[in-house]
Amino acid sequence: MKSRLEQIRERALSQIKDCDTAEKLNELRVCILGKKGELTDLLKSMRDVAPEDRPKVGQMVNEARAEIERVLEENKARIEKAVREARLKAEVIDVTLPSGKTEMGHRHPNTIALEEVERIFIGMGYEVVEGPEVEKDYYNFEALNIPADHPAKDEQDTFYVVSGSSEGGNGVYDILLRTQTSGVQVHEMEKGRLPIRMIAPGRVFRSDEVDATHSPCFHQIEGLVIDRRITFADLKGTLAEFARALFGEETKVKFRPHHFPFTEPSAEMDVTCFKCGGKGCRFCKGSGWIEILGCGMVHPHVLEMSGIDPEEYTGFAFGMGLERIALLKYEIDDMRLLYENDIRFLKQF
């Protein structure tokens, strides 16, 4: 009995000292001191001990038990301390390390060009307005003198959100992603506040394939002026002034007759090439001129449809592609670069 007790005691003490987690230590406690533990077992066999030896043996067992309990407590403290130290070490923060770098973004060339255009027109007393990107057929086509069977509609085939016609076939209620910002002209005219002097920048959509000069989503800047006695001279003077502000004082403009359904007469405006000054170079493909926008006098029928009396009021309108301006101004030769958002590219402007 005595030697068994000694055996249990020694094994217990060495196992406890080798133990490295609180869980294992608890398991050991149960195995040794628990109800079915080794030491408890030993106590049960006291009945085999001669009665005169029992007090002595009992005392030995109790001493062993007390010692084991003490060593258990000591080691519990040792393990807890080690765990705490390991955590402190793992969670240490080096306050002298440099902090994470915040990358600065950069304004997109489109944004820079747009702000430049806005600044010029605001300087001439224009208001900057916005219109919806999801538009009714009426605003995108119909009210701009482009009826259902007009060929211009095919050129600007777009993404239809809802498509159909009412019973009887009259009254189209197509809803689409706008193909041009010109519809904003109609929204502004319908407000019934005159005179109007506005530009309307925004996203437009066409079912075009992506290439160096096309994208299914791009930006336009629309312009509209309506007042009494507005003439083509106002249009020319305004747009020539705009071209000089944007491309430089020496810039000259040229108007070529063109056709747009919502203006009459209509024109396209070219500016002298700002690279060669009009002599002809690779940039302007030898012509000395660069096409920049479409424009014209607002068609009387368009005024009428939006509730403006064409006998009393006249106006001019213009529209240009924002990407085209950005590409020209920054001499970028592929439109796709504008949409890739590569910071190495964007940083250059």
**Tokens (6 digits) for 229:** 């006695």
The two beta strands, 289-298 and 263-272, are antiparallel
DSSP 264-308: EEEEEEEEE-TTTTTS--TTTTTSSEEEEEEEEEEPHHHHHHTT-
Shorter beta-carbon distance to ligand DAH: residue 113 or 317: 317
How many other CB atoms sit within 10 Å of the CB of residue 210? Answer: 12
Helix H or strand E segment including 134:
strand 134-136
Residue, CB closest to ligand DAH: 319
Q: Is 346 in the site for ligand DAH (CB under 6 A)?
A: no
In the bound complex, what is the minimum distance in angstroms from residue 249's beta carbon to ligand DAH?
25
Alpha carbon distance 77, 74 (integer Å): 5
Q: Is 139 in the site for ligand DAH (CB under 6 A)?
A: no
Query: Binding ligand DAH by CB under 6 A: which of 140, 145, 182, 306?
Result: 182
- Name which of residues 253 to 312 contact ligand DAH (CB under 6 A): 260, 263, 294-296
For the chain, what's the residue count?
Answer: 349
Determine the longest span between alpha carbons in the chain, in angstroms.
Answer: 134
Q: Is 335 in the site for ligand DAH (CB under 6 A)?
A: no
Shorter beta-carbon distance to ligand DAH: residue 121 or 346: 121
In the bound complex, what is the minimum distance in angstroms from residue 186's beta carbon to ligand DAH?
11
Shorter beta-carbon distance to ligand DAH: residue 5 or 298: 298
In the bound complex, what is the minimum distance in angstroms from residue 267's beta carbon to ligand DAH?
8
- Name which of residues 196 to 255 contact ligand DAH (CB under 6 A): 222
**Coil, strand or helix: which one is 149?**
coil
Which residues make up the interface to ligand DAH (CB under 6 A)? Answer: 180, 182, 222, 260, 263, 294-296, 317-319
